[in-house]
């Protein structure tokens, strides 16, 4: 069973093509991240699934039902926006209960359910506070509870973590994953962050210019990027030429020349960064080709401008499609 299926979905704004005939199947109860550079069509795709944007061509199925022309409230989806859009004059509890008011649920039942969902996001004790009396992270939990109280089959999240500081972002990230697992519904999450997608996704969907360039579990994308674009975008890879063939090699598989057999990249050191658990160096060859390596933090100091040779095992090279 699939929670969401996109069939040849295209979105045009006037003559501008934002999403270009994409097919995508999202398995039941899974966490999907849509990622890619700015303008690649992530948000348009999410908004078409929600019904906030009509498709120009193609079909959208939710749990096997064709919802292409249905309004948002009849789709079984809920959306959590980047800006949380809470009502400033309503308490956290009333904000959460609001989702049910629109559906004609009686007041006592609404408030009881609102408390249940506030507990789910660990905000039970703050139910009476107004949004202005809550931190950004807490407001976001209220918004999350408000989206979840309608018991959607699919929760859509548009860059939900981008407004948070790095510490809170990591905490909320864990929280999102926990909720998705506990509720057993599908989350579809738009992000700019490769790291976020890696950490959260069962299925990571990399987009470029309105197309899906790879859709696979994060580990598979990292170990076998489909193209030079994906290898560069996902990070942690060097993309190098082998004659007419492009290959990728993980930067953590590169090491300083230790005399062992293997491909080599010789040049001088252009950058050295101490990253705590690792040291990142960039080596530029005579012809301008760059390669970087994540070296163990125990590596002896290397000076800028020094000659250096990187090497790796040929078996770790991955051939890229053109
Ligand atoms: N309402 C609109 N009218 C016209 N063009 C639009 C509209 N919304 C989006 N676009 C264009 O469609 C393309 C895809 O936009 P979309 O917002 O889906 O990309 P995105 O990947 O979510 O980008 P970002 O990461 O910057 O939010 C872009 O070129 C954008 O300029």
Tell me what pLDDT residue 253 has: 96
| Atom number, ligand 1, closest to the C-alpha of residue 19 | 14
| Atom number, ligand 1, closest to the C-alpha of residue 53 | 1
Ligand 1 lining (C-beta closer than 6 Å) = 13, 16, 18, 36, 38-44, 192
Give the whole-angstrom CA distance, residue 94 versus residue 146. Answer: 9
| Atom number, ligand 1, closest to the C-alpha of residue 207 | 21
Concatenating the DSSP letter of every residue in 175-222 gives HHHHHHHHHT-EEEEEES-HHHHHHH-SEEEEEETTEEEEEE-HHHHH
Instruction: Find the mean pLDDT for residues 155-166.
Output: 88
| Atom number, ligand 1, closest to the C-alpha of residue 47 | 18
Ligand 1 centroid–CA 46 distance in Å is 11
Ligand 1 centroid–CA 78 distance in Å is 21
Tell me what pLDDT residue 81 has: 73
Residues 187-205: tens digit of each pLDDT? 999 999 999 999 999 999 9
Reported as half-sphere exposure (CB side, CA atoms, 13 A), residue 197 has a value of 29
Give the whole-angstrom CA distance, residue 138 versus residue 280. Answer: 36
| Atom number, ligand 1, closest to the C-alpha of residue 34 | 21
Instruction: Find the mean pLDDT for residues 45-67.
Output: 96
pLDDT at 12 over 70: yes
Residue scoring higher pLDDT (256 or 99): 256
Superfamily of domain covering 237-319: Nucleic acid-binding proteins (2.40.50.140)
Instruction: Find the mean pLDDT for residues 248-276.
Output: 94
Instruction: Find the mean pLDDT for residues 200-216.
Output: 97
Ligand 1 centroid–CA 11 distance in Å is 10
Instruction: Find the mean pLDDT for residues 164-191.
Output: 92
Mutate to test the pocket of ligand 1, among 14, 42, 196 (most ligand atoms within 8 A of CB): 42
DSSP for residue 227: B
Ligand 1 centroid–CA 311 distance in Å is 41
- Closest-CA residue, ligand 1 atom 6, reads 13
| pTM listed for this prediction | 0.91
Give the whole-angstrom CA distance, residue 53 versus residue 10. Answer: 11
Instruction: Find the mean pLDDT for residues 27-51.
Output: 96
pLDDT at 167 over 70: yes
Give the whole-angstrom CA distance, residue 248 versus residue 191. Answer: 24
Residues 97-149: tens digit of each pLDDT? 988 887 788 999 999 999 999 999 999 999 999 999 998 888 989 999 999 99
Coil/strand/helix, residue 150:
coil
Tell me what pLDDT residue 83 has: 62
pLDDT at 242 over 90: no
pLDDT class of 166 with cuts at 50, 70, 90: confident
Mutate to test the pocket of ligand 1, among 13, 17, 45, 52 (most ligand atoms within 8 A of CB): 13
Tell me what pLDDT residue 260 has: 85
| Residue spans per domain, the chain | 2-223, 237-319
Q: Which ipTM was obtained for this model?
A: 0.95
pLDDT at 82 over 80: no
Ligand 1 centroid–CA 41 distance in Å is 6
Question: Is 3.40.50.300 the CATH classification of the domain at 2-223?
Answer: yes
For residue 24, what are the β-bridge partners? 6
pLDDT class of 153 with cuts at 50, 70, 90: very high
Mutate to test the pocket of ligand 1, among 15, 17, 18 (most ligand atoms within 8 A of CB): 18
Is residue 233 within 8 Å of residue 206, measured between CB atoms? Answer: yes
| Atom number, ligand 1, closest to the C-alpha of residue 190 | 22
Concatenating the DSSP letter of every residue in 236-295 gives SEEEEEETTEEEEEEGGG-EE--S-SS-EEEEEEEEEEE-SSEEEEEEE-TTS-EEEEEE
Residue position matching structure tokens 């045009």: 12
Is residue 37 within 8 Å of residue 233, measured between CB atoms? Answer: yes
Q: At CA 33, angle to CA 176 and CA 119, rounded to 5?
A: 15
φ, ψ at 105 (rounded to 5°): -80, 140
């Amino acid at each position: 069973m699939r929670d969401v299926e996109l069939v040849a979905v295209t979105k045009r704004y006037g003559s501008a093509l934002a999403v270009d005939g994409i097919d995508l199947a999202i398995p039941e109860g899974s966490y999907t991240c849509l990622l890619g550079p700015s303008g690649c069509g992530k948000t348009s795709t999410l908004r078409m699934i929600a019904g906030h944007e009509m498709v120009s061509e193609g079909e959208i199925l939710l749990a096997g039902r064709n919802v292409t022309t249905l309004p948002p409230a009849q789709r079984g989806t809920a959306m959590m926006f980047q800006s949380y859009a809470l009502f400033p004059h309503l308490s956290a509890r009333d904000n959460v209960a609001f989702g049910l008011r629109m559906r004609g649920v009686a007041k006592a039942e609404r408030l009881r359910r609102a408390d249940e969902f506030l507990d789910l996001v660990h905000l039970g004790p703050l139910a009476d506070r107004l949004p202005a009396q809550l931190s950004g992270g807490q407001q976001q939990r209220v918004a999350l509870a408000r989206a979840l109280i309608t018991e959607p089959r699919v929760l859509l999240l548009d860059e939900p973590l981008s407004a948070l500081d790095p510490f809170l972002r990591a905490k909320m990230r864990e929280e999102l994953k926990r909720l998705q697992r506990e509720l057993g519904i599908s989350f579809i999450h738009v992000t700019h962050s490769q790291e976020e997608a890696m950490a959260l996704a069962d299925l990571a969907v990399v987009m470029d210019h309105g197309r899906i360039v790879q859709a696979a579990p994060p580990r598979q994308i990292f170990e076998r990027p489909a193209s030079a674009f994906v290898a560069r975008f996902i990070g942690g890879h060097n993309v190098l030429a082998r004659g007419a063939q492009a290959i990728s090699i993980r930067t953590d598989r590169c090491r300083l020349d230790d005399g062992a057999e293997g491909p080599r990249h010789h040049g001088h050191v252009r950058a050295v960064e101490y990253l705590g658990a690792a040291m990142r160096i960039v080596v530029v060859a005579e012809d301008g080709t760059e390669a970087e390596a994540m070296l163990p933090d125990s590596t002896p100091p290397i000076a800028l401008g020094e000659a250096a040779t990187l090497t790796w095992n040929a078996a770790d090279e991955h051939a890229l499609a053109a």
